[in-house]
Amino acid sequence: MKIFKVFQLTTFVFILVAPILLSAASDHGSISGASNALSGSYEIGGGGADFVDLEAAVSKILNVGMDAPVVFNLKPGTYNTHVIITHITRHGQYNDWLTIQSEDPNNPAVLQHDASSSNENWLIRFDGTKFITLQNLILEAVGVDDFTTVISLENNSSYIDIINNEINGYAISNAAPDAAGYLLVNQADTYLNNILIYDNEFNGGNGAIKLEGNPTGYISGVSVIGNDFNNQTALGSFYALTLYKVKNLTILSNQIMSNAYNAGGMRLFRVDEAVVAANRITMLGAGSGGVGLSLSNTNRGLNETIVVKNNFILASHSPLEIQGNNTRNISVFHNTLMADGIVAANTFPAPLSVDASTENIIIQNNILTSLQTDDSAFAMIIEESGTVTLSDNNIFYHASLNEFLIDGVAYANLIDYQNGTGMDSDSSHERIQFVDEAIGDFHLTSAQYQNPTLLTQPIAGVDDDIDGELRSDTTPLKGADDLDADVIFVHGFE
């Protein structure tokens, strides 16, 4: 169950979105002035409310507009909801925010919709609108048909904040259209931009989020931060989070967990300029899926970069795979990656795999562990070593015969790999111990904090760890977890 919070988000460093959140206890708003526009706070549902339901409130604001920030407070209860929010005329400031929220975050309103066709496959549809916050609600797709979308973003909608909601769906069949299985989706819209998806809980569905640009343009300014993704079924090889043709992307501090067959965590396809940091991904389902993070055809321009840092990823096939034509400029820093679980037939799993069509891949200060004993499993696979600009200061471990597959050659151990390729000259082989690796908790045990093998050189831009604790500026620890810099000093590492 989602724990709802009351908080004020006035500034956010990742995207230029600054919603104005008004208290649920504000006085009732007014419908006055020459334009009869709305302003202030309005109650929805129950006796004495300003509007009987959200549809009535939205109909009013679309009709008369708003001349100041507006808050719609939904009273506790369950509402059958199917609403489209189109362009809202703002008579005051162009960026006056509309906030739709529960009146009582401790007793959130429940909005439900049972779709029976693709023509109505949404609970709330943002259609060519902007400057709207949706927060502190339970939003549910209910029913048995192949339509489980809760939120749809369309037609140049922008500056949409989806904050602190519980968003629930259900599995649909393989035969259903791809987009129908996602809880939050857009319709191949080029100019969708400045979307904040923050601190929500996504439960069920074949996948949770799919956002994609169209053949002629990219979505810009998407931030997916602090969300929980639980039990997406991955029927049809869905990922919990799929982003296609998105630029200026931040994916930070999310938790994704599924043991479904072929389940995938994140897929970034043709994404330019991104930071993927401090996420925890566990994908232990059988099949050739079992991918934690897939980067494919990314940074097709020459100057874009993607940084993958401070992540815990546990997966049965590939915690991190980097592949696709023109995939370039990927930096993999301070991650803890582990491959474990059932190995599918005719597959070559590894904590990190890099295919031959990539360019300028940098791999530093990571812990890569494979507990899979199959002969086809490795600690790292690089199809063509020339694609990797630098790989060093990593810790590798593999429980079986061969540890590395580089340029099609299997190397039994780190020394053979170093001698054969000249790569990872300052890397090491060691079985690092974690707090609870079975569930993907790769925090170091207390004894490991004293392990000198973990000491490494700092990397610019990686100043903290997965928990936001500052790293030492001279001898940080490898992997995603570090001890707070002050504590490291006390223990004598400096």
Residues of the chain with pLDDT below 70 are: 1-35, 174-180, 188-190, 234-237, 286-289, 300-302, 484-494
Dihedral, CA atoms, 377, 380, 385, 387, nearest 10 degrees? 120
Chain-centre distance for alpha carbon 384: 29
Going from the C-alpha of 112 to that of each of 83, 103, 128, the distances in angstroms are 11, 17, 23
- Distance (Å, rounded) from C-alpha 164 to C-alpha 227? 8
Query: What's the pTM value of the predicted model, to 2 decimals?
Result: 0.91
Give me the residue label for tokens 């897929």: 267
Q: Give the pLDDT confidence score for residue 14 in this predicted structure.
A: 40
- Distance (Å, rounded) from C-alpha 371 to C-alpha 223? 33
Q: Give the pLDDT confidence score for residue 232 in this predicted structure.
A: 84
Render pLDDT for 410-441 as a digit per residue (tens, 0 to 9). Answer: 999 999 999 999 999 999 999 999 999 999 99
Residue 336 Ramachandran class (φ > 0 left, ψ -120 to 50 alpha, else beta): beta
Helix, strand, coil % over all residues of the chain, rounded to 5: 10, 40, 50
The CB-side HSE value for 225 (13 A sphere, CA atoms) comes to 17
Secondary structure element (H or E) that encloses residue 443, with its range: strand 441-444
Secondary structure element (H or E) that encloses residue 485, with its range: helix 485-490
- Distance (Å, rounded) from C-alpha 34 to C-alpha 32? 7
The sign of the torsion formed by the CA atoms of 113, 116, 121, 127 equals negative
**Which are the contacts of 404, defined by CB distance < 8 A and separation ≥ 6?**
378, 379, 380, 381, 382, 396, 410, 411, 414, 416, 417
Q: Give the pLDDT confidence score for residue 102 in this predicted structure.
A: 98
Which residue, among 171, 174, 244, has the nearest Cα to 208 in the 3D structure? Answer: 171
- Distance (Å, rounded) from C-alpha 320 to C-alpha 266? 10
Which residue, among 83, 84, 73, has the nearest Cα to 41 in the 3D structure? Answer: 73
- Distance (Å, rounded) from C-alpha 286 to C-alpha 288? 7
Render pLDDT for 287-326 as a digit per residue (tens, 0 to 9). Answer: 656 899 999 988 766 678 999 999 999 998 899 999 988 8
Q: Give the pLDDT confidence score for residue 221 in this predicted structure.
A: 95
SS (H, E, C) 357-416: CEEEEEEECCEEEECCCCCCCCCEEECCHHHEEEEECCEEEECCCCCEEECCEEECCHHH
- Distance (Å, rounded) from C-alpha 77 to C-alpha 82? 16
Secondary structure element (H or E) that encloses residue 63, with its range: helix 54-64
Q: Give the pLDDT confidence score for residue 200 in this predicted structure.
A: 98
- Distance (Å, rounded) from C-alpha 314 to C-alpha 258? 11
- Distance (Å, rounded) from C-alpha 239 to C-alpha 267? 6
